Structure formats: C-alpha cells, structure tokens
Amino acid sequence: MTPPVLLFPDAGPLITLGYADALDLLLKPRWQVQLVDMVWHELTRSTTPTSKKVRQWASDHAVTTVPTRTFAHHQQQMLAAPEGSAPKAHLGELAIQEHMNTLALADPAVTSVFLFEDHKIARASFLLPANCKKVSTRAYLQFLEQHGLLDAHQSAASVERAAINNGRNFSSLHFPLA
C-alpha cells in the first residue's frame, strides 16, 4: 500500500484561502493535511480576519497538528525573553522543513508537499528531501484547476480574486519565475 501524500501549508496559503472562503480546496486532492505546531501558533495566537475561519475549518476536518522542536524552542524563548522580543520570522517554514526532514527518514519515505505563499521562500535555498515538494498557493490552485478539482463555478483566478476582494494582499509574483 502506498503511503498517503501529506500536505503541509504554511500560514500564508491558509490565510489566503480563508479570505477566499476556500479552505476546503486543501482537501480536494485527497491528500492528508497536517499543520505543524508553529504554523498553528502563527495562525491562532491573535485574532485576525481569518483566524476564526482557520480554527473552525481545522476542527471540522480533524486536521492533525504535528509537534516540532522549532515550536518548543520558540515557547522557551517566549518565556525567557521580554514580551515581544523573541524572534518569530520564518519559524513556521523552519518547523515545516524540520518535519519534512523527519518524514524523509521514515521507512518508507513519505511524500509531502510544502504549500507556501511568501515569494522569498520561492527564491530561498530551502533544502528539501527528494520526496518533498515545494508549491506556491497560485501553483496549487492551478494544479487543482488543471486536474478538474475545482467546482464548476470556480477557477484558480476566481479564488485569487475572491481573496483579494475580501482584503487579502495576495502575492503578485507568478511561478515559475521567468
């Protein structure tokens, strides 16, 4: 039996799909969606226009939260540092990379997809094992459209427009880069 494909969205794609009221698109390929604890913390630590939607969606679909050393370290730093001074940048991505490296060592290796939105990640030398893929939100939406996984009234562009029209500052960078 082939192990399932695991989808690990970063905070950005969850926020964008939340603005578009399209979080269920993460379930369309029938991959198992998991959130690393650091991303979950980033999404739920404060009230935002999408935090309640993401929290409800994750609860409704019993989305698994995966513990990481990255988040444990962040929690320790938050306790030790004066309020607001603990570093936060890129910790979600680091936690995802940590967990994907763990999955690469599993026997058999588990195929996983890192769903990101920040264009800086696309250009970064983000080392992922061979069984792990890095995909932008826009490319993911195009994948769904190309495979007939969007509803009849949807297109990749319509989901993007819905997010933008509802207030999301969606990346204007298109992939692949020319």
The predicted model scores a pTM of 0.88
Work out the burial of residue 91: count CB atoms within 10 Å of its CB; fewer than 13 is exposed, 13-18 middle, 19 or more buried. Answer: buried
Q: Has residue 92 been placed in a domain? A: yes
Q: Has residue 173 been placed in a domain? A: no
Pairwise CA distance, residues 153 & 41, whole Å: 33
Structural domains in the chain (count): 1
Domain of 122?
A: 6-165
- pLDDT tens digits in sequence order for the chain, 178 residues long: 666 899 999 999 999 999 999 999 999 999 999 999 999 999 999 999 999 999 999 999 999 999 999 999 999 988 887 666 666 778 888 899 899 888 888 877 788 999 988 665 555 556 677 888 889 999 999 999 999 999 988 999 999 999 999 999 876 655 554 4
Q: Has residue 171 been placed in a domain? A: no
Q: Has residue 130 been placed in a domain? A: yes
Q: Has residue 174 been placed in a domain? A: no
Q: Has residue 98 been placed in a domain? A: yes
Tell me, what CATH number does 62's domain have?
3.40.50
Q: Has residue 170 been placed in a domain? A: no
Q: Has residue 176 been placed in a domain? A: no
Pairwise CA distance, residues 144 & 141, whole Å: 5
- Reduced DSSP (H G I as helix, E B as strand, rest coil) percent helix, strand, coil of the chain, to 5: 45, 10, 40
